Structure 1
Amino acid sequence: MPKGQGNVLCPLLFVATDEKTVLAVVVQICPTGAFTGTCEDAAISLPPSWDRLLWNADLTMDAAMSNAFLRFARVPAAAMLLLALAGCTATPPEPAPKLLTAEEAAARTVVPLTRPIALDKAGKVVDIEFDLPPAGPGTVPDLMLGLRVWGMDAKAMLAQQSRIDVRPFATLVHLQRLDGDSTVETPLNYTSRDRRTELSVGPDGAVPFTTVSSVAQGVLRSAGLVDERRVYGVVRIAEASRVEPGRYRLLIELPSDRPDLQGLNVELLLGYGPRSK
């Protein structure tokens, strides 16, 4: 290679003489004549002896010109390349987003969001205003209005979740859009018990029960709303389908006491639904 020329990538193929081992690698030819291989995003440094073993002729972009000795060196060369590639590791994953404190999560006013909630006393349990951004990657524009329960393992989480609907958990729900000329009631729906039919919530906002549901977990995690030490479950109260971004107010009222739900590991959860893969 002429001196001063930049790094050049030449694909090399080493084929073992037993015709069973085929290894393709990309070798970067540096101006110094040293060789480095690449595996995904991680660099592999090859011993200087490889220069003498593999090549003693100039390399160009047109072809890799082997000499007579290279013909006998293909098997050990391929073996050494396999060992080098075996030590190659992929780029480490990005660090997890910072987990919000309880105070930070309670101050968040953009979906997705969570709020502390008590379910044991009748009356108004939710009255919040929030901003709804457009649905992002991995989500659909269906806003889930529900509850998130948690435990330190799946068994504990399911025990918490089963307490909610040990008998039908009824609510009165209203979602209002605030950023128009006047407050507008947003249509809501809920899922039938067999989860086969979407039913409209009436003008009174009555929803007779909850159903197991889900939200886009990646968005929750990016927002700092997922504690990796916990196992979460989601139950849906209602949903606003194909909802438009904007400013909203959510009101939820419990028509009766539920003393059996005192001390439940639960919080209000608003989030977009996950996109089907």
Structure 2
Amino acid sequence: MQVCVLASGSTGNTSLITTGQHKILMDAGLSGKKTKSLLDEVGVDINDIDLAFLSHDHSDHSAGLGVLMRRYPQIDAFANTGTWNYLLDSKKIGKVPVQQMNTIEPGQSKVMGDLTVTAFATSHDAAEPQYYVFESDGKRVAFLTDTGYVSENVKGVIKDSDAYMMEFNYDTMMLREGPYSWSLKQRILSDVGHLSNEEAGEALLDVVSPRTKHIFLAHRSQHNNTAYLAHDTAKEMLVDGDANLDNDVKIIDTAPDEPTGLIKI
């Protein structure tokens, strides 16, 4: 299994997972043209993408899905019922081909050839947010952003993965002293908002294990965080702290418009 975070941030999110049988998009928050361009950068033809999984309805995760489904009929797209209903009722992604729509509900696992996908509910101010663990050939990668907190149930689902894409959204001091309105700050800080660097690190402390080799720092705010602060917090808490990790774990920064490259898990 290989993973590439193609783009991550408030301007748009999408990642790539590859197995022997599948090429999968995790979220589709960019235009079709931009998604194709980023895939080209890592040597993957967009015509080879056969699966797409959507976390929730916010446009930075979903805006490009309708275009991709209409333009590339080989893509089977998965989301839960609440997310599909909201997107279709609001017409946020336009009319999508019914035959390409598939459901996966929180708590469900689906097996597709050499891939097993497990969905789990998160806490965010969207219709029915959820994220996923992808498993193939004995490897597990867990994706988790856009959640105000990490429940014990979620920790149980994502525990002991080989790789994590984890939200390190904001530095608390930068957010509190920054330019956002107080109402927006309250929303971000709430249980249906986002994770701070420290909250993400604390959650990871409960779930990483010696098998964990890669941690992608994702969905970093461009106004309330820096790559240095997120990386330094993760390193201090996980690598230099008491985490149950081997010394060769890699902490990987992500960017809003530049892919990480395909990394073997």
Question: Scaled by the length of structure 1, what TM-score is found?
Answer: 0.22
Structure with bigger strand share is 1
Question: Scaled by the length of structure 2, what TM-score is found?
Answer: 0.23
Which one has more relative contact order, counting CA pairs under 8 Å at least 6 apart? 1
The structure number with the bigger radius of gyration is: 1
Structure with bigger helix share is 2
